[in-house]
Amino acid sequence: MNQENKVNGNSKNKQLDPFRSDDRDKHLTTNQGLKVSEDEFSLKVGSRGPTLMEDFHFREKMTHFDHERIPERVVHARGYGAHGEFELYESMKPYTKAKFLQNPGTKVPVFTRISTVAGSKGSFDIPRDVRGFATKFYTEEGNFDLVGNNMPVFFIQDAIKFPDFIHAVKPEPDTGYPQAASAHDTFWDFIANNQESAHMVMWLMSDRAIPRSLRMMEGFGVHTFRFVNDEGKAHFVKFHWKPKLGIHSAVWDEAQKINGKNPDFNRQDIHESIENGDYPEWELGVQIVPEEDEFKFDFDVLDPTKIWPEEDVPVKIIGKMTLNRNVDNVFAETEQVAFHPGSVVPGIDFSNDPLLQGRLFSYTDTQLIRLGGPNFHELPINRPVCPFHNNQRDGYGRQTINIGKSSYHNNSIANNTPSPASVEEGGYEHYQEKVEGRKIQARSESFKDHFSQATMFWNSMSDVEKQHIQDAFSFELGMVNNKHIRQQVVDMIAHIHLGLAQKVADNVGVQQPLTGGSDVSKSSPALSQMNTIYQPDTLKIAVVLDEGFNDLEVETVIQGLKEHQTYPTVISSKLGRIKGENGMELEATATFDTGDPVLFDALYVVGGKNSSKDFTKKTSYMVQETFKHFKPIGATGKGINILRENGITEEPGVITGDQVGNFITTFIDAVAAQRHWNRNV
């Protein structure tokens, strides 16, 4: 039965059931039945002003969305959390009065939660998705939450559209699938018809969406905030987290296989790193723009779908975060932690970014339903390290036992305490920005350029990265059933780059656009992962050997690998001790079944004196998979023969040799490079 017949066949039943609703061909209304005249823009003071609380449609829409899922998060459900500390390198006193940013050497405890966005709590670790990157700073002035993502822009410009976007990317309502995936009709229908998403979707189709490790990805505050100093002078600021290990990703075929072999791959990786003492580190950077320079750029500094290119506004590195302690209880800490972009300290304030303005409402509203009431701030993971005093009382989950009769302000019973603090006493004062304008539902004209930075992103990519983006679009749109949606998306891509659109069109069976393209030639080298840090530290190397291996040689190689801070894992046909030709034994801690090559960063093939055909066959599979994913391969002794049988001894990143010292040096260099893209795969 085709879709149209299915709909028509059910129509009579729907008419008989007052609780069923067919929303097609109807006007949009509120839940009270009021027809809505605008669903693109929240109500603001002028086109660039703050969002107004009187926008009842926005509040109803966002409130309903925030309460759609219980008890797991509506988005960012699958997350990993860890404790650590932040240390300040450089004083920010000229820009902000925030105390934890005043004196170099200041340290404050932090808790960071990194998450996928679209999938449920039970989904897998490496879908093609955005990663949430939220950090709670427990400062002496209260908690500061830096709530961002691993991509510096977002899909939408106004928070009123957030429920629409998430509805589109979540599993389709009539089937309940796909889980944790954007490769389906509703997502791409949203993208094609909400083209402010063009820039973000380029990031999503890039390698940034499939990180090799949570320790090897950037974080961004996304929004424009304000720093305010002691004199009341304000600067616009964006926040960046720069990983000390560089930015590295999986390849798509590898990511899909990892999700099958170990759906907890990213979470296990960071957990084990912390347990091993290889503490993940990110440096905190800020981009700072004086308020008087707000309109000097070719992009709007308040637009959350735009970056501030690092070449235009350099990133100043001001401190470092180290995650050094895993949680004791995932539920009590990772799941109950409540972040809020409105959790700020004196010296940090907001801009009129309309997406940020809406988030200031949404996050508190979400915690009320997810954590059972208004006292979520009293949970241990959310409590500030400084004392807090106010007239809030009772409610679900109340832990504080308040003493005294007074719970209101003003009062005489308690000498009018707790009392507001003056600015000099550390009281928070909102930045006194002058705003004026009519109450309207609109967006600034400067927000209407949806393609320039998407093209800049494309221009900034290496040839390899461009190929990956093309392949990602082809895969995702290839999963879209509706040909009309595929055509719409391809036509949108043509505004970014005509050649890309034409190649994708050919791959997904739609008409090639004949016109389009962009005259934007600007690029930003900072956007390419090819310009990242390369080092072997903490990478995992599979060592494949069998009975009768050259134990003296292998022992030297393994020791050399460990000295370069890598983690060799011995893999064989069975677990337990494997004996070398001189009687030395090594412990195999994984087998061909449990030690799949996609779970490792490199492969060292040793073999054995009398290896069986089955051992050689399974080792050949490991060699082929590792080679196909562009990862380093090394071999000594009998292992060289296995590489020869697979015809890859002369390929880039494939290292063979009998002189152990030279082999270790050359192989480590290959491992540090991580991927060898110039192979004939």
Residue 15 pLDDT exceeds 80: no
Q: What percent of the chain has pLDDT over 90?
A: 79
Using pLDDT thresholds of 50, 70 and 90, give the confidence band for residue 252: very high
Q: What is the pLDDT of residues 201-239, one digit of tens each?
A: 999 999 999 999 999 999 999 999 999 999 999 999 999
Among candidate residues 356, 372, 396, the one where a domain is terminated: 356
Q: Total domain count for the chain?
A: 3
501: domain CATH number? 1.20.1370.20
Q: Is residue 56 within a helix (H) or strand (E), and if so which, with residue range?
A: helix 56-66
Give the Cα separation of 209 and 185 in Å (integer): 19
Structure tokens at 96: 């902000």
> Which of 643, 636, 601 is closest to 619 using CA atoms?
643
Using pLDDT thresholds of 50, 70 and 90, give the confidence band for residue 38: confident
Give the Cα separation of 239 and 222 in Å (integer): 7
Q: Please tell me whether residues 594 and 494 are part of one structural domain.
A: no
Q: Please tell me whether residues 544 and 523 are part of one structural domain.
A: no
Q: Please tell me whether residues 107 and 209 are part of one structural domain.
A: yes
What is the pLDDT at residue 610? 83
Q: What is the pLDDT of residues 581-640, one digit of tens each?
A: 999 999 999 999 999 999 999 999 999 998 999 999 999 999 999 999 999 999 999 999
Domain for residue 413, yes or no? no
- Give strand pairing partners of 80: 114
Rounded mean pLDDT, 645-649: 94
Structure tokens at 366: 């979400």
Using pLDDT thresholds of 50, 70 and 90, give the confidence band for residue 122: very high
Residue 439 pLDDT exceeds 80: yes
Q: Please tell me whether residues 148 and 240 are part of one structural domain.
A: yes
Domain for residue 619, yes or no? yes
What is the pLDDT at residue 157? 97
What is the pLDDT at residue 408? 86
Convert 487-549 into a string of H (helix), E (strand) and C (coil).
HHHHHHHCCCCHHHHHHHHHHHCCCCCCCCCCCCCCCCHHHCHHHCCCCCCCCEEEEEECCCE
Residue 5 pLDDT exceeds 60: no
Cα distances (angstroms) measured from residue 488 to each of 170, 349, 511: 20, 40, 10
What is the pLDDT at residue 542? 98
Q: Please tell me whether residues 85 and 147 are part of one structural domain.
A: yes
What is the pLDDT at residue 57? 87
What is the pLDDT at residue 63? 80
Q: What is the pLDDT of residues 291-338, one digit of tens each?
A: 999 999 999 999 999 999 999 999 999 999 999 999 999 989 999 999
Residue 194 pLDDT exceeds 80: yes
| Catalytic residue status for 248 | no
Q: Please tell me whether residues 524 and 538 are part of one structural domain.
A: no
Q: Please tell me whether residues 277 and 212 are part of one structural domain.
A: yes
Among candidate residues 485, 510, 530, the one where a domain is terminated: 530
Other Cβ atoms less than 10 A from the Cβ of 31: the count is: 10
Residue 677 pLDDT exceeds 50: yes
Residue 16 pLDDT exceeds 70: no
Structure tokens at 629: 């994913």
Residue 124 pLDDT exceeds 50: yes
Q: Please tell me whether residues 332 and 470 are part of one structural domain.
A: no
What is the pLDDT at residue 77? 93
Using pLDDT thresholds of 50, 70 and 90, give the confidence band for residue 6: very low
> Which of 67, 138, 86 is closest to 339 using CA atoms?
138
Q: What is the pLDDT of residues 154-192, one digit of tens each?
A: 999 999 999 999 999 999 999 999 999 999 999 999 999
Q: Please tell me whether residues 128 and 214 are part of one structural domain.
A: yes
- Give strand pairing partners of 460: none
Rounded mean pLDDT, 93-103: 98
Q: What is the pLDDT of residues 373-432, one digit of tens each?
A: 888 898 999 999 988 888 888 888 888 888 898 888 898 999 988 888 888 988 998 999
Domain for residue 179, yes or no? no
Q: Please tell me whether residues 620 and 494 are part of one structural domain.
A: no
Cα distances (angstroms) measured from residue 436 to each of 9, 14, 444, 445: 54, 49, 14, 17
Among candidate residues 530, 551, 566, the one where a domain is terminated: 530
| Catalytic residue status for 194 | no
Using pLDDT thresholds of 50, 70 and 90, give the confidence band for residue 7: very low
Give the Cα separation of 414 and 409 in Å (integer): 10
Is the bond preceding 410 in cis, omega lying within 30 degrees of 0? yes
Rounded mean pLDDT, 272-290: 98
Residue 450 and residue 198 in contact, taking contact as beta carbons nearer than 8 Å: yes
Domain for residue 87, yes or no? yes
Domain for residue 401, yes or no? no
202: domain CATH number? 2.40.180.10
Q: Please tell me whether residues 550 and 597 are part of one structural domain.
A: yes
**Among the options 143, 149, 150, 375, which is catalytic?**
149
3 state SS of 132: strand
For the chain, the average pLDDT equals 93
Give the Cα separation of 467 and 207 in Å (integer): 10
What is the pLDDT at residue 33? 76
Q: Please tell me whether residues 134 and 270 are part of one structural domain.
A: yes
Give the Cα separation of 40 and 35 in Å (integer): 14
Residue 526 pLDDT exceeds 80: yes
What is the pLDDT at residue 9? 37
Q: Which one has a higher pLDDT value, 398 or 497?
A: 497
Domain for residue 646, yes or no? yes
Give the Cα separation of 457 and 449 in Å (integer): 14
664: domain CATH number? 3.40.50.880
What is the pLDDT at residue 70? 54
Domain for residue 22, yes or no? no
Rounded mean pLDDT, 662-677: 96
Domain for residue 433, yes or no? no
* Domain extent at residue 236: 43-49+75-169+197-356
**Among the options 76, 223, 377, 629, which is catalytic?**
76
Using pLDDT thresholds of 50, 70 and 90, give the confidence band for residue 69: low
Q: What is the pLDDT of residues 195-207, one digit of tens each?
A: 999 999 999 999 9
- The number of angstroms, rounded, from the C-alpha of 550 to the middle of its chain's C-alpha atoms is 44
